[in-house]
Amino acid sequence: MSLAHAFAPLVDLVYPPRCPLCGEGLAAQSGLCSSCWSELVIPGSPCCASCQRPFARDIPGGAMVCGPCLAEPPAHDGIAAATLYNDASRKLVLSFKYGHRISLAPMMAHQIAVRLPVLEGEWLLVPVPLHRGRLWRRGFNQAALLAREIAKRTSANLMVDGLLRHKATPTLGELGAKARKRTLSGAIAANPQRATALKGAQIILVDDVLTSGATSTACVRALKRVGARRVIVACFARVLDEALDIAG
């Protein structure tokens, strides 16, 4: 019996388990209540063969590729998103990242892991890096915590320092595509000490939220510059408002 299991009854007595979204009492410290689970939106099929963007309906003729991927083929080799970004997933992400509810990491990582494709051969889990200043202020890298938990649930190996963030960057949400690209120029690079291991590797790039894709694209390109063979982007929540409309 692990130490965590041995002390679980005491922890439950002192801190009765509650749903992190609504506060409803739970039987265990991890997970959500059934009502809040139902508020999460899971990406479904049919979807883009390249980026897994959900489609409203099947299109005859085999593999389908969405308009954005046709217009600009992505640098990545697929996206595995646990949920679509809505009010419920947003609350979880904010509690995890800014509310320091790191106990949410195992549950969120499990949801990511079940969305991954079958991992044939050897794979590396590489988190999106934080600049050292932000890491110092926050105290942890949420992507690294998720990657560590995904490693426990898959055959992939964790490489927490595969990427480095050399330049602090502001929040990208208010910037246009060109401004995001300029802001991230030179900010992220592969760790030269890991270059040999990254060359020819199959990599799962891990983050909590995928918004515009600018940061993940910078990471994927940095990994492929040192010879990574394949890079899949894995996240807990993906911002796709049009997909929420389909799901609704």
CA 161 to centroid of chain Cα atoms: 16
pTM: 0.87
Give the model's pLDDT for residue 126: 98
Give the model's pLDDT for residue 124: 98
Tokens read off for 120: 């044939």
The answer for 19, left when phi > 0, alpha when psi is -120 to 50, beta otherwise, is beta
Q: What is the pLDDT of residues 157-210, one digit of tens each?
A: 999 999 999 887 766 656 666 777 777 878 899 999 999 999 999 999 999 999
Query: 128: closest CA among 146, 103, 153, 105?
Result: 146
Give the model's pLDDT for residue 82: 96
Q: What is the pLDDT of residues 206-223, one digit of tens each?
A: 999 998 888 999 999 999
Amino acid (1-letter code) at residue 161: D
Which parts of the chain sit beneath pLDDT 70?
1-16, 26-30, 59-63, 170-177, 242-248
DSSP summary character for residue 52: -
What domains sit in the chain, N to C, each tagged with a CATH number?
Answer: 1-38 (no CATH), 40-247 (3.40.50.2020)
Give the model's pLDDT for residue 31: 75
